[in-house]
Amino acid sequence: MQLSTRRFVVIGRDEVPAFAAAAEMQPWVAGAGSLIVGWSTLAESPGATADVFISLTQMETAAVALGYGTCWLGIWDRDAVTRLIRGQQGGKVVSILAGGPAAGEGAPKAKLPLSKLVGRGRLLAE
Ligand SMILES: Cc1cc2nc3c(=O)[nH]c(=O)nc-3n(C[C@H](O)[C@H](O)[C@H](O)COP(=O)(O)O)c2cc1C
C-alpha cells in the first residue's frame, strides 16, 4: 500500500536560476531565496493533486509565521521542471511555491468582502 502520494523537492538558492529559466515569463522568480516543488506520484488523481496543494498551503502558513514571504507559481514549463527534479513517469509536478525573506507588508490589495464570499446554507448570488 502506498502511504502517501505527496512528494516535495526543496530548491536552494544556487539551483533557483535553473528553475527560474523554466518560469521565464516571471523574471522575479530568479530572485527567490528558495522554491518548493510539489509532486504527486499519481498524475491523474484529483485527490492526490489536492493533497499536494493542501500541504503547500500549510507550508506557506508556517513560512509566513516565521517571517518569510511566499508566492505560488502557476506558470512554468512542466517538461523543464520535471526534468530538473528528475520526475518519474506516472507522476506530475502539481505546483511550485517560491519563498524568501519577507520584503515588507506590501500595498494592501483590493479584496472581496466576507459578506460576498460566504453564504449561509446557500451559495450567494453573483
Ligand atoms: C495555483 C496558484 C498559482 C499562482 N501562480 C502565480 C504566479 O505564477 N505568479 C504570481 O505572481 N502569483 C501567482 N499566484 C498568486 C495569486 O496571484 C495571488 O496573489 C494569491 O493567490 C493571493 O490571492 P489573494 O490576494 O486573492 O488572497 C498563484 C496562486 C495560486 C493559488
* Domains held by the chain: number: 1
Instruction: Indicate whether 44 belongs to any domain.
Output: yes
CA 73–ligand 1 middle distance (angstroms) = 7
Instruction: Indicate whether 21 belongs to any domain.
Output: yes
pLDDT for 87-117, tens place per residue? Answer: 999 999 999 999 999 888 778 899 999 999 9
CATH of the domain at 59: 3.40.109.10
Instruction: Indicate whether 60 belongs to any domain.
Output: yes
95 lines ligand 1 (CB under 6 A): yes
Instruction: Indicate whether 1 belongs to any domain.
Output: no
26 lines ligand 1 (CB under 6 A): yes
| 11: containing domain | 6-117
Pocket test for ligand 1, best of 25, 72, 111 (most atoms within 8 A of CB): 72
pLDDT the model gives residue 81: 98
What is d(CA 72, CA 57) in angstroms, rounded to the nearest whole number? 9
Instruction: Indicate whether 123 belongs to any domain.
Output: no
pLDDT of 85 over the 90 cut: yes
CA 54 to chain centroid? 10
pLDDT for 48-57, tens place per residue? Answer: 999 999 999 9
What is d(CA 50, CA 93) in angstroms, rounded to the nearest whole number? 12
